[in-house]
Structure 1
């Protein structure tokens, strides 16, 4: 427990320190200049903590857009960058798979986007197959420094906490469009995925309602599961089917 408190304190101090730095990029070189007056104003309470945190968020956004965080994001989140498209996609062997998913994570997501003045949206589709409970869980919205993005994963085990299994991987594709900007992410996974993701840091501070995410799952390797999904999922709103391909739009 003490380690958790130490981590929180370190993150808070780190955010305050980061916001006290002026971040500039010129000729491909990033420069950080420490502003002692700004730092002192935060410690004295002249600068509200929320404003300081938002300043930190904006710096993270700038660093992500410029590519300065590519190595860090790969090491910490398993985010691989598609250099030709400028989008990030999570590795399938990343550490997140050990923690599964539950509604508490969504609450944290809602709080985070609300804090930054943006939104997220979520859709869940539980179903049964051969005596086991499964769920497709989809998200779209603003992912802070990662920008506009969307995800969909398949989990098993029943609630409240669902587990991930790489053996549940299917060929998947993801397309994310913004009402104004057009295509934000267009990703066809070259290998089967249990969790498909796509984020574009060039599109920041977006609203979920302004975007349409389209996910496609190819059940050719397990058409029986597709049939179970059709038969046992109570709400298939947004889904369409073509042979062994299932497509969800929202």
Structure 2
């Protein structure tokens, strides 16, 4: 019995020593890399997940050629968000333009251990009656339908988290290692529409959802609005609070494990070398499953 116990303790000590040596080697490897090398490697690793790294703001954003484009979007996806540890405020804005029903949807909130915001442009191939919109998967806007968009995300505690702009079909910004309740986030969205007809159609739908002129600013076809509280919140409060509690716990674990470093690039590369499975879970805030498109 004592022999087995001694052997177990010896193996445990050997494991701790080897693990410590491995961690020191990884830390040294990352510390010796230049910023350019880190960004290039991180972008190579993030590309298969549909994201890219912006070192200037220390955030991740979606690529215009992200594979998520093939799956479109619909209400069914939002219903599954809590099961994927995502606690989000979302505002879908449906409107008809050029004989199609369009969906421009906005999100802000907590994606696992990541705080962020999104804006996506989608449409059907026909006019969809309001009663069928919730069960329709809208296809993502094509390249020629992408619009200039801007997202500015602010926290009531930390101030501005990021400000990003791009011609896109799905503009996003994600700050890894932060856990902030959606109610503490304010997102300012700006969209430049191709003509006044599309801008007016979107504006009418936005005002029908309850947004007032104190939240909207219009300059020609350039429309900006502030998203604080969604017009409808469908998920139970206790579930959201429980998921947020879990996410805060995972955030602490993430920061503890990667504590030798302070920037997102260093922390993620450390995870990549030390815990690859944790890196994969962290790098992809949204996970999609294939759904049949209804047109």
Q: Give the TM-score range, shorter chain.
A: 0.5 to 0.7
Residue 72 of structure 2: which of 100, 115, 135 is its match? 100
Structure 1 position 196 matched with structure 2 position 161: no
Please say which structure displays the higher CA radius of gyration.
Answer: 2
Tell me the SS of whatever aligns to 2:65. Answer: coil
Per-residue deviation at 1:172?
0.8
Structure 1 position 143 matched with structure 2 position 111: yes
Q: What residue number does 1:153 align with?
A: 120
Q: What residue number does 2:199 align with?
A: 226
Please list the CA deviations of residues 195-235 of structure 1 after superposition, one character each: whole Å capped at 9, or x if unmatched: 11111114x2221111101110012x322211222345532
Tell me the SS of whatever aligns to 2:81. Answer: helix
Aligned-partner Cα distance in 1 for 2:90–2:146: 21
The aligned runs of 1:110-121 (5 Å cut-off) are: 110-113=82-85, 119-121=87-89
Please list the CA deviations of residues 73-129 of structure 1 after superposition, one character each: whole Å capped at 9, or x if unmatched: 523322111111111111111111110011221122122236xxxx21111110111
* Contact 1:123–1:139, Cα closer than 8 Å, also in 2: yes
Please identify runs of 4+ aligned residues in structure 1 that moved more than 6 A: 66-69
Aligned-partner Cα distance in 2 for 1:110–1:227: 33
The 1:71/1:82 distance shift into structure 2, 3 A limit, reads closer
The 1:123/1:28 distance shift into structure 2, 3 A limit, reads farther
* Contact 1:89–1:199, Cα closer than 8 Å, also in 2: yes
* Contact 2:43–2:53, Cα closer than 8 Å, also in 1: no
Q: What residue number does 2:254 align with?
A: none
Aligned-partner Cα distance in 2 for 1:217–1:73: 30
RMSD: 2.7
Residue 85 of structure 1: which of 31, 40, 57 is its match? 57
The 1:82/1:227 distance shift into structure 2, 3 A limit, reads same
The 1:141/1:28 distance shift into structure 2, 3 A limit, reads farther
Aligned-partner Cα distance in 1 for 2:217–2:179: 30
* Contact 1:113–1:120, Cα closer than 8 Å, also in 2: no
Aligned-partner Cα distance in 2 for 1:84–1:93: 22
Per-residue deviation at 1:236?
5.4
* Contact 2:190–2:222, Cα closer than 8 Å, also in 1: yes
Structure 1 position 248 matched with structure 2 position 225: yes
Instruction: Decide which structure has greater helix share.
Output: 2
Residue 158 of structure 2: which of 181, 194, 209 is its match? 181
Tell me the SS of whatever aligns to 1:171. Answer: strand
Q: Report which structure shows greater RCO (CA 8 Å, sep ≥6).
A: 2
